Structure 1
């Protein structure tokens, strides 16, 4: 396994691209709102932290229903992550569960595409 080390510049670009993904998602999902770049950057960072520390616990706690739905409940968990992040930030707002779930789906796709192209 390679020991890969990234520079500070890499991480700045990585988080800026993630913020851009949040902004683009807010343009296509009604009810998924961000007030500007700095709010989007904060949202990207908080979503990343929630995904790192809380998402695994949520997956574990909802394992039975996730198995029953063949993994589809994961979309609801991802929406919950978005709603948790929005609850902690001003300038980032998600109106309702549909916006959270669709926003999480679109954000994942846009984020993956942008990181593939730009980072």
Structure 2
């Protein structure tokens, strides 16, 4: 549980820093960043439930594209669910944000 909370705080700080870059990501306040960090951390944790050999095989076969697409979807879903966390340019901002995060 402590590692999840640390992950949420680190993701929230990262989101707040990324929102200051010209990537099209807007975070209104630190609370929105914390909630978005919790959602991103929880949804990325679901990916961790799969066995390591399965994740590695998917990453190797797709040349890393499948985990990136999963991160883009999670980033966009967090922006959809959290009020105060917006993607200014839609999927373009989600792609840049997932790469930066």
| Fold equivalence (TM over 0.5) | yes
Q: Does the 8 Å CA contact 2:19/2:25 hold for their aligned counterparts? A: yes
Alpha-carbon distance, 1:29 to partner: 4.1
Q: Please, which moves more after superposition, 18-27 or 46-55?
A: 46-55
How many residues are aligned here? 94
Alpha-carbon distance, 1:49 to partner: 0.9
Give TM-score scaled by structure 2 length: 0.72
Cα deviation code 1:16-73 (max 9, x no counterpart): 332111101111143211111000000100101111226878x98xx5xx83x42224
Give TM-score scaled by structure 1 length: 0.62
Q: Please, which moves more after superposition, 92-101 or 42-51?
A: 92-101
Identify the match of residue 39 of structure 2 among 34, 43, 46.
Answer: 46
1:21 counterpart = 2:14: yes
Alpha-carbon distance, 1:75 to partner: 1.8
Q: CA RMSD of the aligned region, Å?
A: 3.0
Structure 1 residues 15, 81: closer, same or farther in 2, change over 3 A?
A: closer
Unaligned runs of 5+ in 2: none
Q: Does the 8 Å CA contact 1:29/1:99 hold for their aligned counterparts? A: no
Other structure's SS at 1:27 match: coil
1:32 counterpart = 2:25: yes
Distance in 2, Cα, partners of 1:11 & 1:74: 20
Q: Which residue of 2 aligns with 1:100?
A: 94
